[in-house]
Amino acid sequence: MNRSTGLLLIAISLAVFGTYRALYLPGMLVGPVVPLLLIGFLLQAVFGIVAGVGVWRGAPWAPLVIVLLGVSIAATALIEVALGVIAFLRALLDAGVALIVTIVVARYVRQADASRT
């Protein structure tokens, strides 16, 4: 697979992930609102969609937004533990996988961006 196909798949995956997380938001507004959890999922949605658009357009800031997405996923998982929504080990796994995938994808996008110039 060449780099342009890989970047296209990454861009689509990021945008789909952001849209998926955005679908959580209406349900979170019904009943008692937990602001930290709402903010966490809102950030994931925004960063996912913006990162997808950035990778698709070849923006130089796309790796930074991918890192912000990974950090927001990890932080949301830890907030979910503090609120008792998910178990500690599950949140630790989610946060660890999010950070590892974030580093790999951001590095790939950055190297692909550098090879274009």
The model's pLDDT over 14-52, given as tens digits with 9 standing for 90+, comes to: 999 999 999 999 999 998 999 999 999 999 999 999 999
The pTM for the full model equals: 0.92
- State the pLDDT confidence band at 64, using cuts at 50, 70 and 90: very high
* Domain extent for 69: 3-116
Split into its structural domains, the chain has a count of: 1
The model's pLDDT over 97-113, given as tens digits with 9 standing for 90+, comes to: 999 999 999 999 999 87
At position 91, the amino acid (one-letter code) is: A
Query: Are 88 and 81 spatial neighbours (Cβ–Cβ below 8 Å)?
Result: yes
Report the alpha-carbon distance of residue 27 to residue 19 in Å, rounded.
14
67: CB partners within 8 A, 6+ apart: 102, 103, 106
